[in-house]
Amino acid sequence: MALKIFVLIIGGLFLIIGFAGIFTPENFASGLGLSFANEEGSGTIRAMIGAHYVAMGGVCIFAISRELSILLLPIAAIEVVMVIARGIAAMNGEFGTATLVPTTIEILAAGILIIAAKKLSSAK
C-alpha cells in the first residue's frame, strides 16, 4: 500500500511540474535559471517539459488505478536517463548546488518506480 501511495505522490508531483511548464512556462523557466532567446522558448517549455511531465504523471496514476504497475517501468526509464544526463552534465562542469535537489528527486523517483513496478506486479 505504501508503494502505491508513493507512486501516486510522484505522479501528482509530475502533474504539478507539467502543468506549471504548460501554463506558466516563463515562471517555470526562470525557476530553473533559464531565459528565452526568442518567443518560441515558451512553446518549447510547454511541449518538451510541460507535456512530458503531464504524461508521466498521468501514466503513474493510471498504472496504479488500473493495477498495471508494469507501466511504471518506462516512466522509471525516463527518470534513469535524466539521471544519466545529469551525470554527463556534471562531467562537463554543468552541475552545481542548484541541481542537487532535482537530481536527488530524480534518483528517488526512479528507484521507487522500479521497485513499485516489480513488487506490485509480482503481488498479483
d(CA 24, CA 18): 10
Give the residue from 79, 75, 83, 35 showing the smallest Cα distance to 55: 75
Give the Cα-Cα-Cα angle 51, 46, 81 (nearest 5 degrees).
55
pLDDT of residue 37: 86
pLDDT of residue 124: 60
d(CA 84, CA 88): 6
pLDDT of residue 34: 81
pLDDT of residue 23: 97
d(CA 21, CA 13): 12
- Domain spans, the chain: 2-122
Question: At 99, is the secondary structure helix, strand, or coil?
Answer: helix
Q: pTM of this prediction?
A: 0.90
Cell numbers standing for residue 13: 508531483
**CB neighbours of 67 closer than 8 A, spacing ≥ 6?**
120, 124
For each of the chain's 124 residues, which pLDDT tens digit applies? 899 999 999 999 999 999 999 999 999 988 888 888 888 999 999 999 999 999 999 999 999 999 999 999 999 999 999 999 999 999 999 988 888 988 999 999 999 999 999 999 876 6
pLDDT of residue 56: 98
Q: Which helix (H) or strand (E) holds 67?
A: none
The half-sphere exposure of 99 on its side-chain side, counting CA atoms within 13 A, is 13
pLDDT of residue 47: 95
